[in-house]
C-alpha cells in the first residue's frame, strides 16, 4: 500500500480527473479520433456511416409498414367477403395492397439483416487496422520521448493508461455511430408521435433526466477510480510477470517466492476488487430507482395511447404504430442518454491517449543543426558540467571538466553512484546538463541534430537488451538501416568473437534467440554479451561507449575480446567503464570519480605510483586473486 499522503494525492487527482471525464473539454479529441479512423480507410468509414444511416431509417419504416398492414387487415375484415376461398379474395384484388405491404416488410427485414452483417464486417476490419495504427504510433512516440520521462513513475502510469487506450477508438467508433443511428431513428419516430399525439414526447423526455444525470455521475466516478488505481494495476501486472517469466523462475523457486507473490497479488487484487464492488453496488441501486421512474413514465404514455384507441380517436394500426414507437423510443432515449454519458467518460480515457501523444520531448534538435564532425579531430570536452536527476536534490555530477581526445580510450573508475553512468547519459544526450556544457570539436551537443549525434555513437551497456530476435537481427539492430546486410553482420560478429557462438546454433544467423518464442535458442550471459559487443561494432561509430563490456565474460574470453578491441578502436574515441582493473589498465587514461567529481587522473602506472584512491581499489581487487 502507498503512504497516506500519496494515496490522498492520488485521490485528489482522481477526483479532478472524474470531473474532467464529464467536461466538454475532453470532447475535443473526438474529431481527432475520427481523423485517425479516416486515415486508416476512408472507404470503409464511409461505407459504415452509410449502412448505419440506412439501418436507422429501417426501424420507423418497419413500424409504419406494420401500421399499414394492420389498418388494411381491419379494413378488409369489416367489409363483406368476395367469396369463401383464397382464390376469390385474390381474384377480387382486395389482397393486392395487403400483400404489397407484406412484401415491402419482408424486403426491409432482409435488407436489415444484410446491412447488419455488412456493418459488423466493415467495423471489424477498420477496428483491427485502427488498433494496429495506434499501437504503432505509440511505439514510435515513446521512442521520441526523453529518458527522464520514460524513467519517471508517473509517466509509466500515463503510458500504462495510453497503452490500454490504443483499442479505445474501436469502441468509441461504435458508440458514436450508435448515437448517430439512434438519433436518426429517434427523429423519425418523434415526427410520427408529433403527428399523432404530441404530448407523448414530453412525457418520455421528462423520464430521461434523472437517469441521464445518474449515468454521467457514475461514469465520471468510474474514470476517477480507474485513474486512481493505475499504479496498483501496474504492480499487479508486474507480479503476474514475475510469477510466469522464465527469467525470474530460478530465483522464485530458489527463494520460495511463490507464496509471497500470491499474497502480494491477492492483497492488491482485493483492494481493486473492493473499490470496484462499492462503486458497482451504488450504481446498481441508483440505476434501479431511477429506472423505475422511467418505466412509470413509459406506461403512463402507453395507457394514454390505449385510451385513445378505445374511444376511437385513433385506429388499431395507429395504436400499433404508436405503441411500437413508444417501446422503441423508451429504449432509444435511454440508449442515447447512456451513450452520451459513456462517450463523455470514454473521451476522458481518450484524453489519456491523445494527451500522451501530445507530450513532446524537451531534448529537441535545433532548427538549423550543425553537421557532426566526422571524423572527430580534437575530442569531446565536459566543461564545468553539473547535473541532477529530476526530483532529486543531490547532484549526480558537479563541476565536472575533462576531455576525451580523438582516438583516445578513456576509462572511468569509481564506486557505484560516483557518476559514471550519468556521464554516459549526458554524452549520448539522453539528458542535458543543468550546468556547463559538453562539446565535440568545440561544438555544443545541443547544436547537433539529436538523431545525428546518436548515430555517431556506438554503445555497449551493462544492462544491454537480449532481444528475442534472430542472431543476425540482434547484431543488425545496431544500425537498423543495414540490418539486412549479411556481410556486415558477419564481420561484426567476427570482430566480437560472436561468430564462434553463432556457428554452434542450428540455424546460424537465422536462429531465433531467447525463450520468448518457439524454438528459441537461449545463450549464456557471456554469449549474449558478445552479441551486444558485435552490435556496437556493427554501428561503426565515431564514439564508442563500453559500460562493463566484459562483465559476463571469463578471463580468457575477455582477453580475446580486448585483443580485437585494440585493433578496432585505434581511430575511435572510446569511453570505457569497468570495475575490472584488468580491463581498465589498457586505457590510455583513467579518471577516478567520487561523489560526481574527478579526484584522480592518469594512466594505470601513474595512478598506482600516486598511491591514492585508484591504487587502493586496485589493491583491494588484486588481493582477492592472491
For 170-225, write each residue's pLDDT tens digit: 677 778 888 888 888 888 887 877 777 777 666 666 666 676 677 767 777 776 77
Q: pLDDT-based confidence at 487, cuts 50/70/90? A: very high
pLDDT score at 9? 42
Given a cut of 80, whether residue 584 has pLDDT beyond it is yes
CB 252 within 8 A of CB 242: yes
Given a cut of 70, whether residue 480 has pLDDT beyond it is yes
Distances 54 to 34, 36, 187, 230 between C-alpha atoms, Å: 20, 24, 14, 41
Given a cut of 70, whether residue 112 has pLDDT beyond it is yes
Q: pLDDT-based confidence at 317, cuts 50/70/90? A: confident
Q: How far is 573 from 410, CA to CA, in rounded Å?
A: 8
What average pLDDT is seen over the chain?
A: 80
Given a cut of 70, whether residue 12 has pLDDT beyond it is no
Which ranges of 311-382 would DSSP assign to H, the alpha helix? Answer: 316-358
pLDDT score at 7? 40
pLDDT score at 446? 92
Given a cut of 70, whether residue 80 has pLDDT beyond it is yes
pLDDT in tens, 556-578: 666 666 666 665 666 788 888 88
Q: Report which of residues 428 and 242 the model is more confident about.
A: 428
Q: pLDDT-based confidence at 445, cuts 50/70/90? A: very high
pLDDT score at 551? 66
Given a cut of 90, whether residue 387 has pLDDT beyond it is yes
Quote the cell numbers at residue 497.
Answer: 568473437
Q: Report which of residues 47 and 418 the model is more confident about.
A: 47
pLDDT score at 10? 41
Given a cut of 80, whether residue 100 has pLDDT beyond it is yes
pLDDT in tens, 320-376: 877 777 777 777 777 777 777 677 767 766 777 787 788 787 777 888 999 998 888
Given a cut of 90, whether residue 485 has pLDDT beyond it is yes
pLDDT score at 18? 44
DSSP letter (8 states) at residue 445: G
pLDDT score at 626? 53
pLDDT in tens, 275-314: 888 888 888 888 777 777 777 776 777 777 777 777 777 7
User: Which domains are seen in the chain, by residue range?
Assistant: 4-358 (1.20.1560.10), 467-540 (no CATH)
- Burial status of residue 29 (CB atoms within 10 A of its CB: 0-12, 13-18, 19 or more): buried
Q: pLDDT-based confidence at 14, cuts 50/70/90? A: very low
The average pLDDT across 445-473 equals 86
Q: How many CB atoms lie within 10 A of CB 94?
A: 16
pLDDT score at 561? 66
pLDDT score at 118? 93
Sign of CA dihedral 421, 423, 424, 430: positive
The average pLDDT across 473-490 equals 90
The average pLDDT across 393-417 equals 89
Report pTM.
0.62
Query: No. of H helices and E strands in the chain?
Result: 23, 10
The average pLDDT across 154-164 equals 74
pLDDT score at 26? 62
Residue 69: left (phi > 0), alpha (psi -120 to 50), or beta? alpha
DSSP letter (8 states) at residue 554: -
Q: How far is 530 from 495, CA to CA, in rounded Å?
A: 10
pLDDT score at 570? 62
Share of the chain above pLDDT 90, in %: 17
Quote the cell numbers at residue 298.
Answer: 413509459
Q: Give all strands of the β-sheet with 409-413 in edge-to-edge order.
A: 457-460, 543-547, 573-577, 409-413, 589-594, 597-602
Q: pLDDT-based confidence at 2, cuts 50/70/90? A: very low
Q: Give all strands of the β-sheet with 435-440 in edge-to-edge order.
A: 397-405, 379-387, 435-440, 443-444
Q: Report which of residues 624 and 152 the model is more confident about.
A: 152
Given a cut of 80, whether residue 461 has pLDDT beyond it is no
Q: How many CB atoms lie within 10 A of CB 531?
A: 24
The number of residues making up the chain comes to: 626
Q: pLDDT-based confidence at 254, cuts 50/70/90? A: low
Q: How far is 418 from 398, CA to CA, in rounded Å?
A: 11
Residues 6 or more apart from 419 whose CB is under 8 A from it? 396, 397, 400, 593, 595, 596, 597
Quote the cell numbers at residue 16.
Answer: 479532478
Q: pLDDT-based confidence at 6, cuts 50/70/90? A: very low
Amino acid at each position: 500500500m502507498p503512504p497516506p499522503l500519496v494515496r490522498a494525492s492520488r485521490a485528489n487527482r482522481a477526483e479532478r480527473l472524474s470531473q474532467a471525464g464529464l467536461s466538454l473539454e475532453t470532447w475535443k479529441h473526438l474529431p481527432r479520433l475520427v481523423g485517425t479512423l479516416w486515415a486508416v480507410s476512408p472507404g470503409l468509414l464511409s461505407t459504415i456511416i452509410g449502412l448505419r444511416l440506412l439501418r436507422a431509417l429501417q426501424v420507423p419504416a418497419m413500424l409504419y409498414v406494420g401500421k399499414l398492414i394492420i389498418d388494411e387487415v381491419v379494413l378488409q375484415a369489416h367489409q363483406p367477403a368476395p367469396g369463401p376461398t383464397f382464390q376469390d379474395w385474390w381474384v377480387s384484388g382486395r389482397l393486392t395492397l395487403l400483400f404489397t405491404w407484406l412484401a415491402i416488410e419482408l424486403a426491409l427485414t432482409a435488407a436489415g439483416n444484410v446491412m447488419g452483417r455488412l456493418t459488423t464486417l466493415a467495423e471489424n476490419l477498420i477496428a483491427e487496422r485502427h488498433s494496429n495504427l495506434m499501437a504503432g504510433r505509440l511505439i514510435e512516440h515513446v521512442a521520441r520521448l526523453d529518458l527522464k520521462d520514460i524513467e519517471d513513475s508517473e509517466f509509466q502510469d500515463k503510458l500504462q493508461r495510453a497503452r490500454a487506450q490504443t483499442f479505445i477508438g474501436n469502441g468509441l467508433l461504435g458508440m458514436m455511430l450508435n448515437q448517430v443511428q439512434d438519433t436518426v431513428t429517434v427523429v423519425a419516430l418523434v415526427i410520427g408521435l408529433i403527428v399523432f399525439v404530441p404530448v407523448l414526447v414530453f412525457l418520455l423526455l421528462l423520464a430521461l433526466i434523472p437517469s441521464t444525470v445518474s449515468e454521467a455521475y457514475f461514469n465520471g466516478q468510474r474514470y476517477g477510480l480507474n485513474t486512481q488505481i493505475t499504479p496498483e494495476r501496474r504492480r499487479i501486472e508486474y507480479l503476474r510477470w514475475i510469477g510466469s517469466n522464465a527469467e525470474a523462475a530460478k530465483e522464485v523457486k530458489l527463494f520460495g517466492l511463490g507464496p509471497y507473490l500470491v499474497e502480494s497479488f491477492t492483497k492488491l487484487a482485493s483492494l481493486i476488487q473492493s473499490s470496484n464492488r462499492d462503486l458497482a453496488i451504488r450504481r446498481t441501486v441508483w440505476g434501479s430507482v431511477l429506472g423505475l421512474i422511467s418505466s412509470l413514465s413509459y406506461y403512463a404514455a402507453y395507457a394514454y395511447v390505449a385510451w385513445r384507441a378505445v374511444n376511437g380517436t385513433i385506429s388499431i394500426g395507429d395504436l400499433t404504430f404508436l405503441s411500437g414507437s413508444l417501446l422503441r423510443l423508451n429504449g432509444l432515449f435511454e440508449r442515447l442518454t447512456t451513450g452520451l454519458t459513456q462517450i463523455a467518460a470514454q473521451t476522458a480515457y481518450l484524453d489519456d491517449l491523445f494527451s500522451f501523444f501530445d507530450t513532446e520531448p524537451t531534448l529537441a534538435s535545433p532548427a538549423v543543426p550543425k553537421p557532426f564532425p566526422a571524423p572527430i579531430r580534437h575530442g569531446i570536452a565536459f566543461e564545468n558540467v553539473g547535473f541532477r536527476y529530476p526530483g532529486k536534490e543531490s547532484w549526480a555530477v558537479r563541476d565536472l571538466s575533462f576531455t576525451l581526445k580523438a582516438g583516445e580510450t578513456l576509462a572511468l573508475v569509481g564506486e557505484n553512484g560516483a557518476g559514471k553512468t550519468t556521464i554516459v547519459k549526458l554524452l549520448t544526450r539522453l539528458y542535458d546538463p543543468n550546468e556547463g556544457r559538453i562539446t565535440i570539436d568545440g561544438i555544443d551537443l545541443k547544436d547537433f541534430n539529436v538523431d545525428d549525434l546518436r548515430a555517431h555513437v556506438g554503445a555497449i551497456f551493462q544492462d544491454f537488451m537480449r532481444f528475442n530476435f534472430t542472431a543476425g537481427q540482434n547484431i543488425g539492430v545496431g544500425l537498423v538501416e543495414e540490418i539486412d546486410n549479411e556481410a556486415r553482420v558477419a564481420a561484426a560478429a567476427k570482430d566480437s568473437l560472436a561468430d564462434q557462438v553463432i556457428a554452434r546454433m542450428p540455424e546460424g544467423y537465422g536462429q531465433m534467440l531467447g525463450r520468448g518464442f518457439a524454438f528459441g535458442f537461449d545463450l549464456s550471459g557471456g554469449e549474449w554479451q558478445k552479441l551486444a559487443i558485435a552490435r556496437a561494432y556493427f554501428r561503426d561509430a565515431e564514439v564508442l561507449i563500453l559500460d562493463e563490456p566484459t562483465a559476463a565474460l571469463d578471463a580468457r574470453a575477455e582477453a580475446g575480446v580486448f585483443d580485437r578491441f585494440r585493433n578496432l578502436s585505434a581511430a575511435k574515441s572510446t569511453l570505457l567503464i569497468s570495475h575490472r582493473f584488468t580491463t581498465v589498465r589498457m586505457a590510455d587514461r583513467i579518471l577516478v570519480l567520487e561523489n560526481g567529481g574527478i579526484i584522480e587522473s592518469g594512466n594505470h602506472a601513474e595512478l598506482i605510483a600516486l598511491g591514492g584512491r585508484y591504487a587502493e581499489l586496485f589493491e583491494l581487487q588484486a588481493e582477492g586473486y592472491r
